């Protein structure tokens, strides 16, 4: 992560074929998230719509040269952190992703909170810390989400990261539904 300026820590992407648990989780979650993704895009005026099956969406990614799988494991040690960022790997982006905490806060590590920020138009950014326990997953926006305002819906830019680990070792599974170029 350091050499790319992303923070400190280690991340490792899975290769195809994905481990069965990772592949099946991605395949099972995707169709449940499609109605949310399509609804969000409709609300912010984006004409893109997502197919019902993950295989069909991956075909779209692969046809555009996005053939590298994006599910990954992240490892953070004392002093490590992940800068605020968005997981955009090409033109075809599914707007939702999942992170699953694989370590126990307080027992395996301290610090290392998941931080989400909203960059709201003409307003200051707002941060949210998401408390997770071992095995908890969180669904969040990859790059933007709609927000209802007085004059209709508008787009809020989202970023996510991990605060500094004060002690111990933190592991996370990231499930991103689009593939990378």
What SS3 string covers the chain? CHHHCCEECEEEECCCCCCHHHHHHHHHHHHHHHHHHHHHHHHCCCCCCCCCCHHHHHHHHHHCCCCECCCEEEEEECCCEEEEECCCCCCCCCCEEEEEECCCECCCEEECCEEEEEECCCCCCEEEEECCCCCCEEEEECCEEEEEECCEEEEEEEEEEECCEEEEEEEEEEEECCCEC
pTM attached to this predicted model: 0.93
Percent over 90 (pLDDT), the chain = 90
Question: pLDDT-based confidence at 163, cuts 50/70/90?
Answer: very high
pLDDT score of 124:
87
Predicted confidence (pLDDT) per residue in 72-112, tens digit: 999 999 999 999 999 999 999 999 999 999 999 999 999 99
């Amino acid at each position: 992560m350091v050499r790319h300026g992303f923070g400190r820590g280690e991340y490792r992407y899975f290769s195809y074929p994905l481990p069965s648990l990772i592949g099946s989780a991605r395949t099972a979650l995707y169709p449940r998230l499609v109605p949310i993704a399509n609804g969000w895009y409709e609300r912010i005026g984006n004409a893109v719509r997502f197919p019902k099956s993950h295989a069909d969406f991956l075909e779209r990614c692969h046809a555009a040269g996005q053939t590298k799988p994006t599910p990954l494991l992240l490892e953070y040690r004392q002093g490590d952190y992940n800068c605020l960022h968005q997981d955009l790997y090409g033109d075809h982006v599914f707007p939702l992703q999942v992170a699953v905490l694989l370590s126990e806060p307080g027992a395996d590590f301290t610090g290392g909170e998941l931080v989400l920020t909203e960059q709201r138009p003409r307003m200051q950014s707002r941060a949210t810390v998401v408390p997770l326990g071992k095995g908890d997953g969180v669904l969040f926006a990859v790059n933007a989400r709609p927000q209802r305002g007085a004059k209709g819906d508008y787009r809020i830019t989202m970023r996510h990261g991990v605060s500094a680990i004060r002690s111990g070792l933190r592991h996370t599974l990231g499930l991103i539904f689009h593939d990378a170029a």
